[in-house]
Amino acid sequence: MIAFSCKDCGRPMVAQDAQTGAQATCPACSRAVVIPEGSEADILLLRGREGNSEVVPVRREEAVRRVEAGELKGNHPVWHQGEWVGLDDVLALLAKGETSSAAARQIDQEPELHEIIGPLEPIDLTEAPPEPDDAPPPPADTKPTRRERGGGSLKRVIQVLVILAAIAAVSYRLKLFQKVKMPSALPSLSLGGGGFTGTDIGSPKIKGSKSGNASAMTLTAAGSDIWAQADQCHFAYQRASGDMTLRVRVDSLTETHEWSKAGVMIREDLNGNGRQISIVVTPKNGASLQIRDVPNGECRSTHRGKGVFKAPYWLQLERAGNRFRGSVSKDGAKWEQLGEYTATFKPEVLAGFCLASHDAGKTATAKFSSFSLTQSQQKAGPQPGPKPGPKQTKPPAPRKK
């Protein structure tokens, strides 16, 4: 198994039983990515929700941030050399591999080492260091002391050891992730690094814009509304498929209108009248889970929390087959279900941030943080039925004479 990332959008990816040099398609930007020889050192494979075999590829710095923020426990299971171990232990091991000069003594004399720095030649510690080309010649009666002759060579020794230590640390971490073997049904997690496409839905009079990434996104948009038979809003999205969970914190929303809306959305396409489901907060009218389950159809909604559910607030939108559920949270830990709908959407959809000012002539600005899009790549197969019993056969009828 090889853990790597898309070179265009930075999304972590996993390839199992894949050949080096083969191509994999990034599920976020649909670009072709060449599978490298070894795993990237900064991608960890974490266990997903309890009770299933999901595994989530997460960048090391994101894992550290989530531990510090209390979103992940230090003993969260991480796959390491054929077994589940604690997240703190793996992070400590990687940090030790970066800083310990003892790794230089463990390095193998592999061919790639010579490709980087070339063959090592013996160093004569009694040899005077070479003079630079523009250095003035020394006086005729001046001879370098033994200490001066050895100083330059010692510096060369230290530089070589530093290079060896760095190469040893990188080689160790690549070998570490090459040994990882995981179940075949893997999800993927999008955690920043860009990869969002911003576009206006429904041709609003004032164009919207986006800036930032999944960890800190800002949208500015006008648009009449996300409602009725067609939407006008700004949408920053990634491509997604299958079962998924979108989660985000709406940090702030300007009160352009009491029904200005900011949140997360799943759409079938970029048509204003297309199928969509979204969960949003407003400045004064609480949170709303709203759906258009038929193209050109009227939206339906479930909303409550007037004057209470407003930014800063957490929103979550889940898809499981044809069931969609929206939830809200004040702290991102304790969730309250807002509503649930059943609708038939295509397996491949567009998912991301949405904003509408509810005033065609004015813009609103919303700031988001901690966005995550978790997708399950395991497709639901036919449900197993009862095991067949022994086949019943009728005795042969007597032959007529």
On whether residue 124 sits in a domain, the answer given is no
**DSSP 3-state of 58:** strand
**Are residues 227 and 365 part of one domain?**
yes
**pLDDT digit string (tens) for 133-185?**
555 555 555 555 555 455 556 777 777 787 877 777 666 655 554 544 444 33
**Are residues 42 and 68 part of one domain?**
yes
On whether residue 165 sits in a domain, the answer given is no
**Are residues 260 and 184 part of one domain?**
no
**Are residues 304 and 341 part of one domain?**
yes
Last residue of a domain, one of 132, 157, 189: 189
**Are residues 258 and 318 part of one domain?**
yes
Alpha helices (runs of H) in 5-99, residue ranges in sequence order: 60-68, 87-99
On whether residue 25 sits in a domain, the answer given is yes
Domain encompassing residue 285 = 196-376
- Cβ pair 346, 189 in contact under 8 A: no
Residue at 5: amino acid letter: S
Separation between Cα atoms, residue 150 and residue 162, nearest integer Å: 19
Separation between Cα atoms, residue 324 and residue 316, nearest integer Å: 11
Q: Which of 74, 40, 76, 73 lies closest to 59, judged by CA?
A: 40
**Are residues 14 and 92 part of one domain?**
yes
Backbone φ and ψ of 344, nearest 5°: -100, 105
Across the range 80-103, mean pLDDT stands at 70
- Cβ pair 38, 50 in contact under 8 A: no
Q: What is the pLDDT of residue 12?
A: 80
Residue identified by tokens 């998912």 is: 351
| Least confident range of 20-24, 66-70, 326-330 | 20-24
**What percentage of the chain has pLDDT greater than the value 90?**
45
**Are residues 270 and 217 part of one domain?**
yes
**DSSP 3-state of 171:** helix
Residue 217 host element (H or E): strand 216-221
Calculate the alpha carbon distances from 248 to 205, 265, 354, 363 in Å: 28, 11, 11, 21
**Are residues 184 and 285 part of one domain?**
no
Q: Which of 35-44, 191-200, 216-225 has the highest mean pLDDT?
A: 216-225
Q: What is the pLDDT of residue 185?
A: 35
Separation between Cα atoms, residue 374 and residue 245, nearest integer Å: 5
- Cβ pair 54, 186 in contact under 8 A: yes
Q: Is the dihedral of CA 354, 356, 362, 366 positive or negative?
A: negative
**pLDDT digit string (tens) for 237-294?**
999 999 999 999 999 999 999 999 999 999 999 999 999 999 999 999 999 999 999 9
Last residue of a domain, one of 189, 207, 240: 189
**Are residues 268 and 184 part of one domain?**
no
Alpha helices (runs of H) in 134-250, residue ranges in sequence order: 146-178
Pick left, alpha or beta for residue 266 (phi over 0 → left; psi -120 to 50 → alpha; otherwise beta).
beta
Last residue of a domain, one of 136, 159, 189: 189
Total tally of structural domains belonging to the chain: 2
Tokens for 38, please give them: 């070894």
On whether residue 169 sits in a domain, the answer given is no
Q: Which segments of 20-139 are extended strands (E)?
A: 23-25, 32-34, 43-47, 55-59, 77-80, 83-86
Q: What is the pLDDT of residue 154?
A: 73
Separation between Cα atoms, residue 168 and residue 162, nearest integer Å: 10
On whether residue 381 sits in a domain, the answer given is no
Residue 81 host element (H or E): none
**Are residues 202 and 72 part of one domain?**
no
Distance of CA 180 to the CA centre of its chain: 19
Separation between Cα atoms, residue 332 and residue 227, nearest integer Å: 27
Q: Is the dihedral of CA 203, 208, 209, 215 positive or negative?
A: negative
**Are residues 227 and 94 part of one domain?**
no
Q: What is the pLDDT of residue 77?
A: 82
On whether residue 132 sits in a domain, the answer given is no
On whether residue 255 sits in a domain, the answer given is yes
**Are residues 220 and 339 part of one domain?**
yes
On whether residue 367 sits in a domain, the answer given is yes
